[in-house]
Amino acid sequence: MSINSGKVRSSVKLNSIVTLRCQNTDTDSKETIYKTFKIVDDPSEGGVDNGVGINSSLGKALRGGIKNQKILIQDFGSATIVDIVNERSCRKVGKENIIEIKMYKDFDCTDLIGTQVLGCEDDIRDQFNNKEINSVVKLYNFKSSLRFAKITKIKGL
């Protein structure tokens, strides 16, 4: 395997799932926001949630980008690519799926808390709907402290 093949796999291209860490400039507090979306050919087709067209201004700015690269996007000051997932067979979490998640204290998924399997009736389950394998989800009201979860498996019932 050549060095270039590793770089291509971790760069933004069509069907990549990209997560950006953004500084919101609309408020005085400079709030940090995480935005996750999929780079698609045409966001109007297929009903892709949070789809960004590869030929849109944001798609062009991100195309070929790599992890930790800084970019400028409209309505935000600076943004940094924090995660890129290039999987051909990603599946989204549906209402009938059982999902396995790894719980972390931080968004970068370095401080592992543990692995958990969620069924359809779990309290935090709705926060994962329409997310894909390797998506990182910021969990709210989870045992009254902020947690992040990375989806590792999606199983049908």
pLDDT, greater one: 142 or 7: 142
Question: What are residue 62's phi and psi, to 5 degrees?
Answer: -90, -25
pTM exceeds 0.85 for this model: no
What pLDDT shows up at residue 97?
83
Share of the chain above pLDDT 70, in %: 78
Which range, of 78-87, 95-104, 111-120, averages the lowest pLDDT? Answer: 78-87
Cα 123 from Cα 78, distance rounded (Å) = 34
State the average pLDDT for the chain: 79
Token representation of residue 150? 């990375």
Asked whether 151 and 131 are in contact (CB, 8 A), the reply is yes
pLDDT, greater one: 38 or 104: 104
What pLDDT shows up at residue 25?
62
What pLDDT shows up at residue 15?
80
What pLDDT shows up at residue 13?
86
What pLDDT shows up at residue 72?
83
Q: How confident is the model at residue 5 (pLDDT cuts 50, 70, 90)?
A: very low
pLDDT, greater one: 148 or 87: 148
Nearest Cα to 34, choosing from 135, 105, 118, 142? Answer: 135
